[in-house]
Chain A
Amino acid sequence: MRRYAADVSALARKDLLLELRARDTLPAMLLFVVAALVVFHFALPTGSGRLAGLGLLWVAIVFTALLGLSRSFVAEREQGVLDALVLAPSDRSAIWLGKTVAAFAFLALAEVVALPAFAIFFSGIDGATVAGVALADIGICTVGVFLAAMSVATRARELLLPVLFLPLAIPVVIGGVGASVTGSPARYLGFLALYDALFATICWASFEYVVTE
């Protein structure tokens, strides 16, 4: 277990270091999410209300995540390094978990900017929304990295990832929006936690078959 954690940590740190050096993904995510919120701000008619704004926040989060996820295996694809990682004697699910941790960090950083920006453009954010965002991020990154690994091996990878990811993100949006807009968010937060646990288990157990023929 300790070895597994060390492998995940090494792989996640590697991805964070690559991003720190290349600065490909995070600046694009930040620009996108802020730009999307600005567009939504002007697109929504005056007096549309808080609920409509919260719905658009979730749209911005999902598409920002998709932007980051689409780049999650770029270094491995362009330099063929996935073969070297797959051949290493560590558990192959560590590759998925390391990438998931890094993707979660990028998305969380984008949201550190996005949530205050939302508060400026639309309305304040309550604790339930923040909790919903945190739980949704786990699910989004868990499933998204898994699907990114699947799509990276195909020629139509840029098309395939959104096509596969968005249907699976629908429950996340339902749970996230529910947690944000209802008076009793516990049920929706529980739903998001269940989604996270279920898909994390599935992705962890089946990642090996995604990266081997």
Chain B
Amino acid sequence: MIIRARGVAKRFGTKRVLEGLDLDVERGSFLLVTGPNGSGKTTLLRLVAGLLVPTSGELDVDAERSGLGFLAHEPLVYRELTALENLQLFARLYRVPEARERIGMLLERFGLWNVRNERAGSFSRGMLQRLALCRTFLHAPSLLLLDEPYNALDGAGAELLDRELAAHAGTYVVATHEPQRLTPLATQRLAFT
């Protein structure tokens, strides 16, 4: 098991977001997490990423930080840096081998090569999401935590992501409130209400 949760609860003050969650995710699985806004999808991803600690229960994640790819609501990139500079920074922190080639390939793949020297702050929301996807896939993570990955992507961008998801082997935990697109890839589902 790459993720094992037993009775996991998360509260923010008096607000209960997750309660009594049991979950087993095997290596190589594609877990689709669905549910309406505020149902706890993002909290689950942040718990698995280690950004939050459960209020109670046990949560074991068998993955190093270097093998974790996290796509959040926000693109998690610096707006004053160019697309290239952002990826270079994270490539250094993740010690990506042959970073230059890897960055170039991802920028090409997500259609950002021509704007690689432009500041992220000048990007549209969809372009920022593409850059965030480049950052997420940059170090070839084995456990990918994707929060609404199709958010703000246009048709072409969504197809690029479809291709990347199909091509990149790993364990996926994907939170979305529009599951139709990912249903064919899903091997496991978790529905919050």
Contact = CB atoms under 8 A, between A and B. Distances in A.
B partners with A: yes
Interface residues of A, number: 24
Interface of B: 49-53, 64-66, 68, 70, 72-81, 85, 89-90, 92-95, 119, 135
B71 to A, nearest CB: 10
A212 to B, nearest CB: 7
Contact of A21 (B49, B53, B80, B95): B80
A57 B95 CA distance: 44
A213 B53 contact: yes
Residue picked from A6, A80, A81, most chain B C-beta under 10 Å: A81
Contacts of B93: 7, 10-11, 85, 88-90
Given A84-B76, A87-B70, A90-B93, A17 B85 contact: yes
A79 B74 contact: yes
A22 B119 CA distance: 11
Contacts, number: 73
A113 interface: no
Contacts of A14: 78, 81, 89
B81 A80 contact: no
Given A14-B78, A75-B80, A79-B78, A6 B92 contact: yes
A150 B37 CA distance: 29
B23 to A, nearest CB: 20
B66 A89 contact: yes
Interface string A74-107: 0100011101111111100000000000000000
B78 A83 contact: no
A7 B64 CA distance: 18
A18 interface: yes
Given A86-B51, A213-B53, A7 B92 contact: yes
User: What's the dominant secondary structure at chain B's contact region?
Assistant: loop
- Main SS of the interface on chain A? helix
Contacts of A3: 95
Contact of A10 (B51, B78, B80, B89): B89
Contacts of A84: 70, 76-77, 90, 135
A75 B76 CA distance: 10
Contacts of A87: 49-51, 65, 68, 70
Contacts of A17: 80-81, 85
Interface of A: 3, 6-7, 10-11, 14, 17-18, 21-22, 75, 79-81, 83-90, 212-213
A87 B93 CA distance: 10
Given A7-B93, A21-B81, A22-B80, 20 more contacts: A10-B92, A14-B81, A14-B89, A18-B81, A79-B79, A80-B72, A80-B75, A81-B76, A81-B78, A83-B70, A84-B90, A86-B51, A87-B49, A87-B65, A88-B93, A88-B94, A89-B64, A212-B50, A212-B53, A213-B51
8 contacts: A7-B92, A11-B93, A21-B80, A21-B119, A80-B72, A80-B76, A87-B51, A213-B52
Contacts of B50: 87, 212
A29 B52 CA distance: 35
A89 B79 CA distance: 22
Q: Across the A-B interface, give the 8 residue pairs with the lowest CB-CB distance, nearest first.
A: A80-B74, A89-B66, A84-B76, A88-B93, A21-B80, A89-B65, A10-B92, A213-B53
Contacts of A79: 74-79
A17 B64 CA distance: 30
A6 B65 CA distance: 18
A175 to B, nearest CB: 35
A147 B50 CA distance: 22
